[in-house]
């Protein structure tokens, strides 16, 4: 466990690791205080595309955590960067929250509900039959289907709720086209995270609550991995996968006190 504390770079998921909805999880403040005290390089790397970096900073501030915007990276930012690198002056029909829309605008991607180059889907409460119908029509007409992340479900204060892949699935089924998902475990997110941290993969660790995104993303990028049981995964779930995290902890609050 001492090897974990000695890592210089910490890439940390947010939902189910730092908070559930608007509730800070136990031990998180101690963990963040420890990161600052020990001068660790850390990044909150979230598959959620709902909020901008500013909104994430404000969300944590309301819970009593003061974290600079430079410590956040989202699947919305990764999606916008990916599309701008693939297609100059791209247009998109978007089902998503303001964090995704802002990221796309900042990369020069404009909205188009007539003949878009892409249909982009992220988490949102504004999901209905009308925008689903339009998305299917655009994809069937040739628009490329992009999901900000492949999470089927996510944790909330009310329990487990549908996430991005659940919202993309009806479009895939109705159009006969498969989506490309940008968020974890896609290496695009992890490589950018390491670049932002400025550390080598051997000196970094990935902390998350999901085996199918966080843990596998860390393993495939060469990072040590920590599974925390504060989100959607129980310890018994680990045996269902052909790979294992290096460490399993109740939550990130355990890390500062490890021997």
Catalytic site positions = 13, 15
Question: CB within 8 A of 174, min separation 6: which ones?
Answer: 136
Cα-based distances in Å from 213 to 135, 172, 184, 199: 25, 20, 5, 21
- Distance CA(28)–CA(19), nearest Å, equals 8
Please state whether beta strands 224-228 and 72-74 pair in parallel, antiparallel, or not at all (unpaired): unpaired
| Bridge partners of residue 41, in order along the sequence | 9
Structure tokens, 122? 């992220």
> Where in 83-193 does DSSP place strands (E)?
91-95, 110-111, 118-121, 144-147, 153-156, 159-162, 180-181
Q: How far is CA 140 from the centre of its chain?
A: 28
Structure tokens, 66? 């003061």
Nearest CA-CA partner of 254 in 3, 44, 24, 31: 31
């Amino acid at each position: 466990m001492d090897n974990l504390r000695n890592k210089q770079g910490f890439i940390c998921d947010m939902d189910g690791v730092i908070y559930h909805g608007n509730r800070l999880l136990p031990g998180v403040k101690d963990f963040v205080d420890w990161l600052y005290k020990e001068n660790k390089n850390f990044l909150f790397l979230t598959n959620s595309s709902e909020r901008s970096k500013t909104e994430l900073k404000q969300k944590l501030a309301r819970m009593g955590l003061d974290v600079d915007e430079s410590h956040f990276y989202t699947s919305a930012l990764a999606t916008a960067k990916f599309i701008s690198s693939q297609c100059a002056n791209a247009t998109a029909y978007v089902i998503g929250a303001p964090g995704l829309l802002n990221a796309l605008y900042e990369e020069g991607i404009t909205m188009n509900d007539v003949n878009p180059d892409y249909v982009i889907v992220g988490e949102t409460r504004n999901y209905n039959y009308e925008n689903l119908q339009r998305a299917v029509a655009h994809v069937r007409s040739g628009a490329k289907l992009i999901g900000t992340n492949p999470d089927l479900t996510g944790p909330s204060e009310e329990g487990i709720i549908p996430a991005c892949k659940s919202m993309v699935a009806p479009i895939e089924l109705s159009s006969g086209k498969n989506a490309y998902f940008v968020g974890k475990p896609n290496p695009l997110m992890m490589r950018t995270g390491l670049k932002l941290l400025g550390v080598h993969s051997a000196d970094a660790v990935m902390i998350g609550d999901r085996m199918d995104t966080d843990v596998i993303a860390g393993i495939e990028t060469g990072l040590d991995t920590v599974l925390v049981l504060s989100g959607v995964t129980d310890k018994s779930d680990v045996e269902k996968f052909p790979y294992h995290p290096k460490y399993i902890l109740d939550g990130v609050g355990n890390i500062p006190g490890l021997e």
